[in-house]
Structure 1
Amino acid sequence: MDGSGTDGARRHWWDRSGGGIDRGRIGLWLLGILAGTALLWVLQAASSVLIPLTSAFFVATAVAPVGRWVRERVPRRVSWLGHAASMLVILVILVAFFGSMALVIQRVAEDFPKYADQIGKLWSQANDWLQGTREQVTGAAGQAGGAAASGGEAAAPLDPVTGFAKSLLGATGQAASTLVMTVFLALLMQLEAPVWREKIVMTLGPERCRTAVDAVTAIAQQFRRYLVVSSVLGLLTGVLYVGWLSLFGVDLVLLWGFLAFLLNYVPVIGSVVAGALPVLLTLATKDAGTALTVGAGLLVIEQVMGNFVAPHMQGRQLAISPLIVMVSLLIWSWLWGGAGALLSAPMAVLVAIILNHADLASRFAILFSDKSDRERFDAHTRPD
């Protein structure tokens, strides 16, 4: 029998049976990868626009029940009081948060002069150690390095407080502008919500409009649950801080616990700042061993709360897998920095709910769930 004829017959049967390479399907997968890559690029490139827009959407949907509750209880001619009440809630929360941060900063500024000398010495020692290590690694001449370090005309290292203040001032200015735009957009979203509902009805039809409204309502409910869970986690973290720091007699222990509670709303960066400041103070006022022990304990608290308790509680309340919560944190932090980290869990909820309400993609939504129970996941992604 001719071997080449047999191989040709086998290839023909293999292609007809569907077991061969499906070029069309491979093309679709490649097209999907390219589309996903382009989407990530757009999300990162347009972050200055998308961050305040996304934040305003979450804020507007979260406080919408307040405005609706007020409008249902006042005459129609003064229905604007509902929007005013919603904005008042937003302003009260912002004033409470930033007012508390201002009190913390004021307290630190008042007590800082007592520790300025010790912290300055530590900074000088750390800078000298870094300079020596760099010279050893790069193989620079020791005498030249010593002359440069002792020379009067050499550039002095930047004061740590001054450098931190400059970076904090720049970040604060950018955050303030984003915050103002977010509040303004949230107000406009609430004012135009009824008009947009009519537009959606005219564009998509009543049935699809109802689906979109259900999705937005579910997102708002889950976002409010996320805020509650974050507040509980922050309170628990603050209590653990107070308890651990009290064991070593660290100064300003209540202040550090309160700061840990406030910065819990700022993932990753907040925990680093909340843990570094008391360790630095301990190093300045006590010995290095105590500071190392305090830092190790705070690190354990942050790791347990940030990598185990927080994803577990958020996933349990939001029906989102803790793994998905962590992956979302990594992705959105990479795309949008600190703002992305702050919005990572709500964005995971948003994507899961949108997928579950979309006809073509609903089967993929279960991948975001913390369990394989489809009914339970549907119950968490539908409005109550």
Structure 2
Amino acid sequence: METVRSSSLAILIGSAAAVIMLAGLRSASAIVGPIVLALILTIAVSPLRGWLDRRGAPFWVCVAVPLAVLIALLLGLGAALAVSVAQLAALLPDYTDEFNQLVDSFAKTLTRYGIDQGKVGNAVSRLDPGELFTFVQGFLAGLLNASSAILLIVLMLFGMCIDATGTVRQLERLAGDRPELVAALRGFARDTCRYLVVSTIFGFVVAVFDTIVLYAFQVPLPLLWGLLAFLTNYIPNVGFVIGLAPPAVLGLLTGGVGTMIWIIVAYSAINFVLQSLIQPKFLGDAVGLSFTLVSISLILWAWVLGPLGAILAVPLSTLARALLIDLDPSKHWLTGLLTSAVDQPAAREPARRRPGPKE
């Protein structure tokens, strides 16, 4: 009975500490978000850094080349987001008439089927075309705010890129004395890098195909919606819907119901083939989290860090798993509970401590 009480008390204290920590991270999200982004980006270019190091490149090359790649990526993405937000703000007023005509037609259809005209009028009067893309515009603006902290991100990237090679070598020295710690951190870095690289490649391919479809149907701002499709590829479970909704609605306004249906069909086919059939074969069990936990992670980290947290939800949850579970041999039994039943046979084996020289 005493053991049960101690376990329950430990769970309560741990839960309270987690709530306090997450609330603190949320209050400092303007600082924490860019720092976490810098960490994840540093991990993402670790294969390039390792390739240069193995070929005997000087230390400054191992630092400068990955850093230059990351800075170019951030500047390009920040510029694209700024242009996209401005274009979206300028586009919406142009479709006010089309939106009102569509709403009137929809209201007449409902009235024709016997729905009370007064209730239909009240519902229609609350619709505002200016708020149609508020969520997407807020999402892009949130990412733009994070990328606007470019000085902080560059400073963190510079420091992390300098420390990365030394950190890898220090982990190699600790492997004999702290095998669980080294295995957990290496597993997190390996899985995160693999997840980001594969998601980036497939996100780019999906964005290219989606943009071609939108050009074919003459949907306004196809490059913006291609960028949105690329960014939402990192958002698990709901990213596809977020990327699909704005171009589908614009297709409805510009070309009617038929255009909207074709856009939805084309997006769904591209997403199913590339992201549901092909991409999982390359990712394997890199995530190591069940569908439910991924969904909870998305909600949690989006609440803590905003739009940036939604994109980094999987790497952040993988880091939490490495520090809280993989690091502690007594908690390895939780690994099977975190993965889905389908993925369970392929779950990673817990790290086994190798005997030291004195054992």
TM range, smaller chain = 0.5 to 0.7
Distance 1:176 1:310 in 2: 31
What is the alpha-carbon distance in structure 2 between the residues aligned to residue 194 and residue 158 of structure 1? 52
Spell out, residue by residue over 1:63-102, the C-alpha distance to the aligned partner (whole angstroms, 9 max, x if none): 2343344345557xx5222111120121233344445556
Q: Quick one: structure 1 residues 36 and 295, their matched pair in 2 at CA, closer, same or farther if it must change by over 3 Å? A: farther
| Cα deviation digits, residues 127-170 of structure 1 (max 9, x gap) | 999xxxxx967x99xxxxx9xx9xxxxxxx89569978985785
State the structure with more CA Rg. 1
2:329 aligned counterpart, secondary structure: coil
Q: Which 5+ residue runs of structure 2 have no aligned equivalent?
A: 106-116, 353-359
1:367 aligns with 2:337: yes
Match of 2:301 in 1: 332
Identity of aligned residues (%): 19
CA contact (8 A) 2:43 2:189 kept: yes
Per the normalisation by structure 2, the TM-score is 0.68
CA distance in 2, matches of 1:231, 1:74: 28
The match for 2:40 is 58
Residues 380, 261 of structure 1: alpha-carbon distance in 2 compared, 3 angstrom cutoff: farther
Shift, 1:318, TM fit:
0.9
Q: Which residue of 2 aligns with 1:224?
A: 193
Q: CA deviation at 1:256?
A: 6.5
Provide the C-alpha distance between the structure 1 equivalents of 2:300 and 2:261, rounded to a whole number of angstroms: 32
Q: Secondary structure at the match of 1:207?
A: coil
Relative to structure 1, the CA distance from residue 240 to residue 90 in structure 2 (aligned partners, 3 Å threshold; closer, same or farther) is closer
The letter of the residue matching 1:92 is A
Query: Matched residue of 2:190: which SS?
Result: helix
Any residues of structure 2 matched to 1:275-314 within 5 Å, and which?
275-287=244-256, 289-290=257-258, 293-294=261-262, 297=265, 300=268, 312=280
Aligned residue for 2:8? 29
Counterpart position of 1:94: 74
Contact 1:264 1:270 in 2 (8 A): yes
CA contact (8 A) 1:62 1:224 kept: yes
Report how far residue 377 of structure 1 moved. Answer: 1.4
Separation in 1, partners of 2:65, 2:33: 24
Aligned to 2:114: none
Residues 1:121 and 2:97 aligned together: yes
CA distance in 2: counterparts of 1:125 and 1:80, whole angstroms: 62
Equivalent residue, structure 2, for 1:19: none
Aligned to 1:41: 20
Say which SS state the counterpart of residue 45 (structure 2) adopts: helix
Q: d(CA) in 1 for partners of 2:54 and 2:214? A: 49
- Cα root mean square deviation, aligned: 5.1
Does structure 2 retain, via aligned residues, the 8 Å contact 1:70–1:82? yes
Alignment partners' CA distance in 2, 1:67 and 1:27: 46
Structure 1 residue 341, shift from structure 2 partner: 1.5
Contact 1:320/1:368, CA 8 A, preserved across alignment: yes
In the alignment, the residues of structure 2 paired with residue 372 and residue 159 of structure 1 have an alpha-carbon distance, to the nearest angstrom, of 47
Give the conservation status (yes or no) of the 8 Å contact 2:81–2:141: no
**Per-residue deviation at 1:25?**
0.7
Structure 2 residue aligned with 1:11? none
> Highest relative contact order (Cα 8 Å, sep 6+), 1 or 2?
2
Matches within 5 A, 1:142-161: none
Q: How does 1:165-204 map to 2 (within 5 A)?
A: 171=142, 174-193=145-164
Q: Give, in whole Å, the separation in 1 of the partners of 2:36 and 2:186.
A: 15
Q: Secondary structure at the match of 1:360?
A: helix
Q: In structure 2, how many angstroms separate the alpha carbons of the residues matched to 1:325 and 1:165? A: 22
Residue 318 of structure 1 is matched in structure 2 by 286
1:180, CA displacement in angstroms? 4.0
Task: Report the Cα distance in structure 2 between the residues aligned to 1:102 and 1:34, rounded to whole angstroms.
Answer: 44
